[in-house]
A and B are shown apart, each in its own frame.
Chain A
Amino acid sequence: MARVETFYELLRRQGVSRRSFTKFCSLTAASLGLAPALAPKVAHAMETKPRIPVLWLHGLECTCCSESFIRSAHPLVKDVVLSMISLDYDDTIMAAAGHQAEKCLEDIRTEYKGKYLLCVEGNPPIGKDGEYCIVGGRPFVDQLTDMAKDAMAVVSWGSCASWGCVQAAKPNPTHAVPVHEIVKDKPVIKVPGCPPIAEVMTGVVSYIVTFDRLPELDRQGRPKMFYSQRIHDKCYRRPHFDAGQFVEAWDDENARKGYCLYKMGCRGPTTYNACSVTRWNEGVSFPIQSGHGCIGCSENDFWDNGPFYERLTNISVFGAEANADQWAARVGVGVGVGVAAHAAVSAAVRMTDKERHKSPPMPKGGHE
């Protein structure tokens, strides 16, 4: 195997100065939510690491994850592909096709046994011997099983690979299953969302490359750094929720004022994702900012928890502190909590509705 160039060497010969490189490392550290003191560690990693081979498989999917990935602004996807990883198989962008493409898989599997990262977009349908998704003349589920055997770890891109997503919505005609139901002897990192945010995707890859370890995961297998809090927890419209100021109909006066979309079905209160902070497409917006509720696209079974425009009935009480694990545990406890919580929310909504008609409301923080 030829000696592999490091990320730092690549940057240097592109004419990037040492100083710019250090700055880049600080920004990378910041985008990963790390303390500034860790920036030198990022730099050290970039200076010494060869590019990690990445094989990106596609099962039943719509390619929205790949499309999201190429939207990454920091790092630019061009730099990820040319300088950070070695994307040796990805049928959406690779030059080779047919046998030449298949050979890439086999070669990497042999040359980098146990050292490549297997990224999976979409999922395997296991109904009817896997015939609903055939790649290279064989069922996708077989390709996935084979390539996972010698992988270092598996990344489940998006809600298809993480949970099943739309093709697994009832009645799941192809019996599509998430990757972790097929790959059981490797670490699986779930990066859910339909699609996931671009910088979350490249952030997960950068973290692995930079720190030479997998990110810390919550109990459901998602990186804590991006998925440990609800959209609602960090939503800039949260004060309107707390003040009982809600959009009542599309394009009404309250919609134009940017009030809370809870009554329009927003799933922000039950959705764990980074949208309300990291936002989309280089921070331009996120669904709530553009006037539509969150549909909960990073949550398991979100397609079957609709209709989307029906307001949530099982949301937690005001100001409750809950992380993903606690929330999952609570949902598991039973319906009783949900019903009680809904009653509390409804009461609050009724009360604050009345208040709103009297005087211009102010965020009250911590009432209830």
Chain B
Amino acid sequence: MSTTTPNGFNLDNAGKRVVVDPITRIEGHLRIEVNVDDKNVIRNAVSTGTMWRGLETILKGRDPRDAWAFTQRICGVCTGVHALASVRCVEDALGIKIPENANTIRNIMSLALYVQDHLVHFYHLHALDWVDVVSGLKADPKATSDLAQTVSPSWPKSSVGYFRDLQNRLKKFVESGQLGPFRNGYWGHPAYKLPPEANLMATAHYLEALDFQKEIVKIQTIFGGKNPHPNWLVGGVPCPINLNDTGGIGAINMERLNLVSSIVDQSLAFIEQVYIPDLVAVAGFYKDWAAIGGGLAGKSFLSYGEFPQFANDQSNKSLLLPRGAIIDGKLTEVLDVDLKAPDQIQEFVTHSWYSYSDETKGLHPFDGVTEPKFALGPNTKGDRKKLEAIDENAKYSWVKSPRWKGHAMEVGPLARFVVAYMSGRQDVKDLVDSTLKTLDVPITALFSTLGRTAARGLEALWSAKQLKAFNDKLIASIKAGDTATANTEKWDPKSWPKAAQGAGFMEAPRGALGHWIKIEDTKIANYQAVVPTTWNASPRDAAGKIGAYEASLLDTPMANPEQPLEILRTIHSFDPCLACAAHVIGPDDREVTKVTVK
């Protein structure tokens, strides 16, 4: 049957159904089903989040100062983003102002995550969609070395011997018959376009990036004590600064600052000399993917903005990446976004495994309701013990459908960069324009699978530079005599009002993240998170508008539907995080008692 959605996409579920479950190389559990026509072009797409953890239900009645630790466990990949959104929503609710250094340190921790998370995504979650590891065995090490020295003249690991040793290691590995994570991959698939030398170089960098990513996160360890899941604090940051006095060895001191500076420099070098050259080199072979996988890109983007330059100023004057929304493809009109306006952000559950009293309407997070209600539609193939094909006309996902003023939105690095570009931010414009020029593609090339992947790489570079800037700012602040890292005026719950509510945002690496809290009698009365993957992976809403994943897969030609490489490419370009996406709020006691506990 063929239909046109209210947001302008044609769906036709007549053709052969292809199921990909599990989607691997993501965080959490995601199922994608598509229908392909007789030419193997995708004509219908269904995105199903297949996990639910109920964290916000668990938060009810707890100390708001503890919420960051709970919500941080929503995601261990983009670790820290929920913690930061959480401390910000509590601070917003209670009117707590944080010291300048605390804002700087939070930015440093978040930017370090951006760099590490984007790097890991490109090499370890996404690269195998473009890089045929096995093909690299056929490469000529000398030609690989020449290629490496051409794309990145100053990166030292580029000798003939280096690539020969690696190739030998891979050969034996493959010949052993134990392929580990490369087992059953799509090696030799016709959609792989890189020559053997580029495959070998990229595989070398896959391993180098695996070694290096663990260095970047040490920045979070220095300030937060561990990674994943460093420590945060309502009112500031927990690490004190002490350069000259007794006991400085146990605080942020000169040795610690030097360690941060050293990692910052190494990170910038790795991004500039490995990640970006690889991205450009790989993209050059896949320019056709600049016209595939667009979906909502170019039509509707949302960004909450991030990296306040000044503590306690979350306006666009302070935010290095601005807040804003673009709808209906009107790129030059960036609209204001207000997390607290009841008519802006709303969540629908028409096609999600929850029930509302009126499912034709969406609810703002402050007033969110969640009652889990798992049921498969009448046209389901298989059953709950062995699901073969889902019925998308019924409820079909643990992910809700958030909408901004009724619009399905795409979030993520591309959304952030387009909002920044269209808001006239020169640093972002320069970065984007120069890359488009290098690749010789128009700006519309951004609205694609390749565009998302490229935007993430450019943002990693931008982040590494900002990381250096904020590190310099911290040192300058200390030099000027400011060593404060926490404001404890309202630490004691006795100083809080009887009731308060607040919203906290964070642009996570994957996109716009919001937390909303209601505090009553010093305890959490209500808590809700609307996260990036909820936006992107959302099922259809009450009006039938489809979300970013579903829209992006439409019209994609597949070489062989049995080997769904093309689906993986586009879905991975969003960097899905399903543990984040499937969450729930409990505004009242009913839902808990309705969950069957055996």
Contact = CB atoms under 8 A, between A and B. Distances in A.
Interface of A: 1-5, 9-10, 13-15, 50-51, 53, 58, 60-68, 70-73, 76-78, 81-82, 85-104, 125-129, 131-140, 142, 165-167, 169-176, 194-195, 198, 237, 249-251, 255-259, 275, 280-282, 284-292, 295, 297, 303, 306-309
Interface string B542-565: 000000000000000000001110
A361 B253 CA distance: 23
B401 to A, nearest CB: 19
B321 interface: no
A287 B237 CA distance: 12
A4 B181 contact: no
B568 interface: yes
Interface string B253-274: 0000001000000000000000
Query: Mostly helix, strand, loop or mixed at chain B's interface?
Result: loop
A132 B53 contact: yes
B51 A88 contact: no
13 contacts: A76-B210, A78-B207, A86-B178, A93-B181, A94-B181, A95-B184, A102-B22, A137-B388, A175-B598, A251-B488, A281-B226, A284-B222, A309-B66
Given A5-B172, A94-B25, A280 B225 contact: yes
Given A70-B213, A92-B25, A289-B250, A63 B579 contact: yes
A174 B246 CA distance: 50
Nearest to B209: A78
Contact of B568 (A72, A97, A128): A97
A280 B211 contact: no
A64 B240 contact: no
Contacts of A14: 165, 168-169
Contacts of A85: 180
B58 A166 contact: yes
Interface stretch (B75-83, B152-160, B278-286, B360-368): B75-83
B200 interface: no
A257 B246 contact: yes
Interface stretch (B228-236, B322-330, B434-442, B530-538): B228-236
Nearest to A254: B247
Contacts of B245: 256-257
Contact of B184 (A96, A133, A195, A308): A96
Contacts of A286: 225-226
Contact of A82 (B50, B173, B598): B173
B227 A139 contact: no
B512 interface: no
Given A13-B168, A256-B245, A290-B222, A250 B488 contact: yes
Given A94-B25, A167-B58, A258 B228 contact: no
- The 7 A-B pairs of least Cβ separation, nearest first, read A258-B250, A64-B76, A257-B247, A2-B177, A95-B185, A287-B225, A173-B54
Contacts of A308: 63, 65-66, 69
Given A249-B491, A258-B247, A280-B226, A173 B124 contact: no
B28 interface: yes
B52 interface: yes
Contacts of B241: 256
Query: Mostly helix, strand, loop or mixed at chain A's interface?
Result: loop
Contacts of A102: 22
Contacts of A68: 76, 228
Contacts of B596: 127-128, 175
A101 B236 CA distance: 44
Contacts of B73: 62, 64, 165-166, 194
Contact of A280 (B169, B227, B259, B486): B227
Nearest to A198: B214
Contacts of A15: 165
Contacts of B233: 250, 292
Contact of B19 (A10, A78, A98, A250): A98
A78 B210 contact: yes
A93 B595 contact: no
A256 B55 contact: no
Given A95-B181, A95-B184, A62 B76 contact: yes
A230 B582 CA distance: 35
Given A2-B176, A256-B242, A256-B245, A290 B563 contact: no
Contacts of A3: 176-177
B251 A173 contact: no
Contact of A60 (B53, B76, B386): B53
Interface in B7-60: 19-29, 31, 50-55, 57-58
Nearest to B220: A281
B52 A13 contact: no
A103 B562 CA distance: 13
Interface in B93-152: 120, 124-125, 128, 133
Contacts of A61: 28, 76, 579
A96 B53 contact: no
B21 A95 contact: no
B51 A104 contact: no
B57 A171 contact: yes
Nearest to A172: B597
Contacts of B76: 61-68, 195
B229 A195 contact: yes
A256 B180 contact: no
A257 B242 contact: yes
A173 B568 CA distance: 32
A95 B226 contact: no
B176 A98 contact: no
Given A142-B385, A250-B235, A257 B180 contact: no
B387 A134 contact: yes
Contact of B28 (A63, A125, A127, A292): A63
A98 B20 contact: yes
Contacts of A78: 207, 210-211
B390 to A, nearest CB: 9
Contacts of B510: none
A359 B231 CA distance: 33
B183 interface: yes
Given A135-B50, A166-B58, A173-B584, A97 B23 contact: yes
A235 B145 CA distance: 49
A97 B564 CA distance: 8
Contact of B75 (A63, A94, A295): A63
B509 interface: no
B226 A285 contact: yes
B210 A137 contact: no
A104 B183 CA distance: 7
Contact of B484 (A13, A251, A287): A251
Contacts of A131: 374, 384
A290 B242 contact: no
Contact of A95 (B57, B186, B491): B186
A173 B398 CA distance: 14
A12 to B, nearest CB: 10
Given A96-B186, A258-B249, A292 B225 contact: yes
B350 interface: no
Contacts of A170: 58
A243 to B, nearest CB: 13
Contacts of A95: 24-25, 128, 133, 181-186
Given A78-B207, A309-B66, A258 B251 contact: yes
Contacts of B182: 94-95
